[in-house]
Structure 1
């Protein structure tokens, strides 16, 4: 008598429903093989050779009360991926202890040469947790900017795949570009005027995007926000 194959869709639904109840706003599953072309050392299989799927969680934007605080240090503390990482660590533990599969909550800090352990942007796009933007970070169509964490696992969960309609550019940004040749983000930080951002919009799509990550990191604290 052979053991019955688990219903992986049910397993996936239970896991994702759990993290959504704990505070995640976005919970998707991506195919790690879609990251085969990213930089060596930042691929899922470089971190977990047995990886079969990657769970991408997004959320934990600062609350209104935190924005209202007169202490800038409050936002400096909560404006990171730490809250999402805590949910990811709990999920990884649940997968290993309850289901018996490998699970790794990828560190949201940086590795050697100040590089991320994983290409979080590519992981989020592959799972449909958002899409790239002219402004730099991954954006979700409903929630906008979200803090990310990624759990790599040998659990063979069904994939969600990338979203069909990119979050960027928004209709208002397209309208502004048609009128002035810039969007709100490229107007504020134009790469041709000492800023970090550049690109064009053609037929409602971003083309020729330019992003000076090193210059941006010198100006904006996002060392612990790996979705850029």
Structure 2
């Protein structure tokens, strides 16, 4: 097992590369709740540790922009990946162990080869929330997560003893009126109950949320293209091809990614980490 000094050195590389937080989970910790084929050792034989980096999402200024489209097009979810690549390089070049970025993009549907949400929980960086089950860090709130898998045995960080959600202010609001900020702002996609200041039940309608929060992407391009092909009127086909919807759908394919966040409303009203968005 690597020493604490090695762990701190790895984490420092990630933090210096732009991560807000870095945590470590044991590869074997994934076996309890993860089926075969989706575990760290299925991606890197001999895996011993998973290092998770959490990076900031939109800047405080982006949160204040009155045009909510800015949150979609600015694309801040990159720094955690840079941090992961920097730590992979350090582990392989300086420490002599294998390391690879954990694949997190879906290969079909919404099923990625490895869950970054679960990895962040096991590494002690956050817990699931009422808000679409997004992982919330108790200090910074919404973060974007990436991970690496390595054969380097590192001491693991424990999962959080106290959940980041619900926030004390949300508990007080629930006692008064039976809801929380995120449940109230998006009742169509979210529902749940609290008991003894803890989440008792939580339901997230992913398909309904997907139709609202991921309007443009590979799926929308397929839908729009099929409509164009099936349209008999040449003039109407031209209008459809030059429409804003079709243009944005093509653009999403050009960026080789789905537009994953066209709705931030549940996070916009979340009090966890809000203090870091209040500046001059």
The alignment partner of 2:130 has SS state of coil
**TM-score for both structures, normalised by structure 2:** 0.70
- Paired with 1:171 and 1:67, the residues of 2 have a C-alpha distance of 22
1:60 lines up with 2:61 in the alignment: no
1:35 lines up with 2:23 in the alignment: no
CA deviations on 1:77-125 (whole Å, 9 max, x unpaired) are: 4445322112211211221122121111123432222322211111111
Q: Say which of 107, 110, 119 aligns to 1:111.
A: 107
Higher mean Cα deviation, 169-178 or 60-69? 60-69
Higher mean Cα deviation, 110-119 or 21-30? 110-119
- Paired with 2:35 and 2:205, the residues of 1 have a C-alpha distance of 17
Which is higher, the Rg of structure 1 or of structure 2?
Answer: 2
Match of 1:200? 193
1:85 lines up with 2:81 in the alignment: yes
Matches within 5 A, 1:121-136: 121-135=117-131, 136=133
How many pairs are equivalent? 216
Q: State the Cα distance separating 1:185 from its structure 2 match.
A: 1.0
User: Residue 58 of structure 2 contacts residue 71 of structure 2 at CA under 8 Å; is this kept in 1?
Assistant: yes
Q: State the Cα distance separating 1:63 from its structure 2 match.
A: 2.1
- Paired with 1:72 and 1:200, the residues of 2 have a C-alpha distance of 29
Match of 1:151? 148
User: Residue 25 of structure 2 contacts residue 156 of structure 2 at CA under 8 Å; is this kept in 1?
Assistant: yes
- Paired with 1:69 and 1:7, the residues of 2 have a C-alpha distance of 45
1:14 lines up with 2:9 in the alignment: yes
Let me know the Cα RMSD of the aligned residues.
2.3
Q: Which has the higher contact order (CA 8 A, sep 6+)?
A: 1
Cα gap change, 1:7/1:156 in structure 2, threshold over 3 Å: closer, same or farther? closer
Match of 2:205? 212
The alignment partner of 2:164 has SS state of coil
- Paired with 1:144 and 1:157, the residues of 2 have a C-alpha distance of 26
- Paired with 1:68 and 1:203, the residues of 2 have a C-alpha distance of 34
**TM-score for both structures, normalised by structure 1:** 0.85
Match of 1:76? 72
CA deviations on 1:112-160 (whole Å, 9 max, x unpaired) are: 2232221111111111010110102100010001011111111100001
The alignment partner of 1:200 has SS state of strand
Match of 1:164? 161
Cα gap change, 1:77/1:9 in structure 2, threshold over 3 Å: closer, same or farther? farther
